[in-house]
Amino acid sequence: MDNNKDLMKLIQNKFSRLSKGQKLIAEYILKNYDKAAFMTAAKLGISVGVSESTVVRFANELGFSGYPKLQKALQELIKNKLTTVQRLELSNDYISEENALKGVLKADIENIRATLEKINHKTFEEVVNKIFTSKRIYIIGLRSSTALAEFLGFYLNLILENVKVVGHGMSDIFEQMISVGEDDLVIGIGFPRYATKTIDALEFAQSRNSQVVAITDSLLSPLATKADFTLIAQSNMASFVDSLVAPLSVINALIIAVGMREKDKITTTFNALEEIWKDYNVYSYNLNNIEDR
């Protein structure tokens, strides 16, 4: 694990002595190491706007015998995800307290933009189809992904009748999934650092031959290796917080795509709810009402 941290630190330390073209590569890698890890030297050069040989010299500059060695180090770095402390240390240079608001919102815009490129649109359609053809749908998200799982479950429950969010409460995740089978769909949501229990649950779902969807940050994520369908959403944030903004946007899209097919059902449901909410005063209707209450 120390190697990974060393690589990022190494790039930062060498930074001032790099040529202008090499600096562009360095910046690109620090920000997009997950992409860079799977690019050839030529492709990386094109992305950054430098020649392939500049890329090779950059690898040499860092002490690698060639670009393939640097690439392998980058791939290791993704596999053995940085610990929270390491990410915190690296965040120093990008986001300061003064510009946290601006820096974070801009980084999140970039996260969504990158997601639009990375996510497989066809897989997205297949997942929407699976949601309609499966007998039961289980949603799992633990740790910070709990919020995403609850949000997805909240809306799908208003549209469909066979949706269950698992992983919290008195029962353990296996009791809640004890009757999962081959006609069911299990949606696992997990971002670095991946919770062991979510991976266990997906593994268990696969052992029962159910279909598995992973909503995660990369095809190399341990969730993806247990999944039939993987929806990629970028969660990069060079700090101790996982940004779940792009994942939440993908979940918005999933809910809306499902809702579009069941418009009449939703209209009926919400018309009924509006009546009940009015009767039981769940929502505030307008400013005047609130003042007068």
- Applying the rule CB under 8 A, the residues between 122 and 141 that interact with a second copy are 124, 128
- Contact between residue 247 and residue 215 where contact means Cβ atoms under 8 Å apart: yes
What residues does 208 pair with on adjacent strands? none
Q: Which of residues 51-90 bind a second copy (CB under 8 A)?
A: 79-81, 83-85, 88-89
Show the binding pattern over residues 26-55: x = contacts a second copy (CB under 8 A), - = does not. ------------------------------
DSSP codes, 120-184: -HHHHHHHHHHHHH-S-EEEEE-GGGHHHHHHHHHHHHHH-SSEEEES-SSS-HHHHTTT--TT-
Cα–Cα dist 31/20, whole Å? 17
Cα–Cα dist 258/127, whole Å? 10
Question: According to the binding rule CB under 8 A, does residue 171 interact with a second copy?
Answer: yes
Tell me the number of residues near a second copy by CB under 8 A: 103
Q: Which of residues 106-125 bind a second copy (CB under 8 A)?
A: 106, 108-109, 112-113, 115-116, 119, 121, 124
Contact range with a second copy by CB under 8 A, out of 33-41, 47-55, 58-66, 157-165 = 157-165
Burial tier of 272 (Cβ tally within 10 Å: 0-12, 13-18, 19+): exposed
Q: Which of residues 195-254 bind a second copy (CB under 8 A)?
A: 195-196, 199-200, 204, 220, 222, 225, 237, 239-241, 243-246, 248-250, 252-253
Question: According to the binding rule CB under 8 A, does residue 273 interact with a second copy?
Answer: yes
Among 51, 60, 157, 206, binds a second copy (CB under 8 A): 157
Pairing of strands 211-216, 229-232: parallel
